[in-house]
Structure 1
Amino acid sequence: MAANPTVVLVHGAFADASSFRALIPELLDSGFPVVAPAVPNRSLNGDAAYIASVVRQIEGDVVLVGHSYGGAVITVAGVEENVRALVYLAGYALQQGESLGELQGGFPDSDLATALVQTTYPQPDGTQGTDVAVDPAKVHDVFAQDVDPEITRILAVSQRPLAAAAFGEPAEAAAWTSKPSWGVVSSSDRTINPDVERFGYQRAGATVVEIDSSHLVMLSHPKESADVIREAARATER
């Protein structure tokens, strides 16, 4: 029997790798090695280059999993040779040359549009960049309405913001054109319009599973999320 692939979990905007805290034990208990790196959240292709560097240093096959903005990141990084499957969790499946803003702009806004706040940060060239995060008072209702409020109060103040410039950056590649993919639609998502998820997955030819969940599907439905990852690993065994 072939060894299980390593599952690389790529978090999204407004979160960090701890957003996978409920999913990781499910995978480890199933015998999957897991890596959950911290994504810089500075630029789409820069973030993808970082994740690709992590993937290249893993011995053996990888199942690359992306949540939310992390879906856009794995779309680019997934071209690495040892990636055998992509799994999107309430994520963006971009096509090459497409930006997050372009994909999202084709559909009605979610509740996120009125829940965002902006702050500035210094860039290496001395100019000011803009960060985007969710208003902490709205994190539970917009981001994670089916997650324990005691958890969301912590998520609200520990966000990893996303540089606003990442929304307009075209994806340099679309790994789903050459790699099999699976996609989880969070049908009660208030952060990404679920139709954005459905459209991207259909275009990618993904195997689609719908879960009645908030945006943080891997936190509120870890077993069901793990089942999709396990299925992707089984279906692409080699």
Structure 2
Amino acid sequence: MAQIQVSTVSKTFSSASNAPRRVLDGVSFSIGEGEVVGLLGPSGCGKSTLLNIVAGLDEAHTGSVTVQGRPMREQLGAGFRVSYVFQESRLLPWYTLQQNLEFVLQAGEFPRSEWAGRIERVLSAVDLTGFRDFYPAQLSGGMQQRASIARAFCIDPDILLMDEPFSALDELTARKLRQSLLDLWEKFRTTIVFVSHNAFESTFLADRILVMGHGKITHEIDLSGSPRPRCYDDTALFETSKRVIRTLEQHSVSPPSLQPHP
């Protein structure tokens, strides 16, 4: 059974002053346990909206999203854990880094006896052990994103959702964080679904890429044959990313925000 099953999901935005806009149009796909899947497409094609629906944050849609055969809300009520990493770190500014991690552990009802071990494990993985007493404003943008990844893995999530988490960073910092993400994935084998408009980033991270355009999945690219761990200097990976770009050019169309609902 697929861990995540998205079936004919459609979403339309309406307003009093404009015609309804269809942003998702009958989207269907499945994701297996432990897969890393990228949603790739131009800005405005519905990627983030789809991710919010998968997360259960947006229920105003048609079609269904199930996790291990049950709606996400039911799974969350049964102790299933989902983490979400946004474009910004969204750390609580009045808490130190350690307190931010303690906050999610408390919300997740983890025994206090586990907190120190969990925090040490994830901070070590993202090389932030020496910054646990720093406030977010004292950390660089890249360090804040590393902290948000640590926070996401702190609760041992069954699914990790990421919405362009590296798009605001310079390329050198983004490369380090992508590698940190894959290092953590190697340890936890968490199912990851991420949104990106960066073809090389998607190629580096994903087992599969779902190309989006006009509110639909227009093409699927299987990268499971690319060996891991992956290396930025691998010429084969670079050639693969060029094929992904060509596929994106061929199979992406105008953003759905420009298309009125008939």
Same fold judged by TM-score > 0.5? no
When Rg is computed on C-alpha atoms for both structures, the one with the higher figure is: 2
By relative contact order (CA 8 Å, sep 6+), the higher-ranking structure is: 2
